[in-house]
Amino acid sequence: MNAIVKSVDGINIIVKIALTVALIAMTITMVMQVFSRFVLDLPLHWSEELTRYLGIYAVFFGAALAIRYNELIAVEILPDLLKPTAKKVLKVIGLIISIIFFVILLVYGWNLMNLVSAQTSPAMQISMSIPYFSIPLGAFLLIINAIAAIAVTIRGSVQE
């Protein structure tokens, strides 16, 4: 189990870098758009689309990291009333249910990505499979991070 957690944490280093790059690129693109539109009176038609696609990827990357480090928003009323062993069991059950959802998301996201691959985006003229690839990629990252979170929960230690 320790090897699984270490492998996922290795992948998460790349995910953190990708998340950082996506957020920086979004910020730069938005600033360029505002400057270009209001100062130069020359709007960038592709900037809104790029910002939207980067934002979608950023959400999936951030959610995968959050599930790994137990930082997702949650209602803690029931777990706080339970004993430590029951709390662990409840957490593992919740993660297993989440993994089932993520597998469904992965399968349907992959099918959707293939369905739209012949279409191009309106402004940037890229294949729509590129933005839609965020769904199966994000689902995969969520699955492996949920598995790592289960391993850490069962082992009983918090790793960051």
Cβ atoms of residues 134 and 112 within 8 Å? no
Q: Which of 63, 48, 64 is nearest to 131 (CA)?
A: 48
Spell out the residues 6+ positions from residue 81 whose beta carbon is closer than 8 angstroms to its own.
Answer: none
| Per-residue DSSP letter, 82 | S
| Residue 157 pLDDT greater than 80, yes or no | no
For the stretch 16-48, pLDDT in tens is: 999 999 999 999 999 999 999 999 989 898 999
Q: Which of 124, 123, 104 is nearest to 112 (CA)?
A: 104
Dist CA 95 CA 79 (whole Å):
14
pLDDT tens for residues 47-86? Answer: 999 999 999 999 999 999 999 999 988 888 888 888 989 9
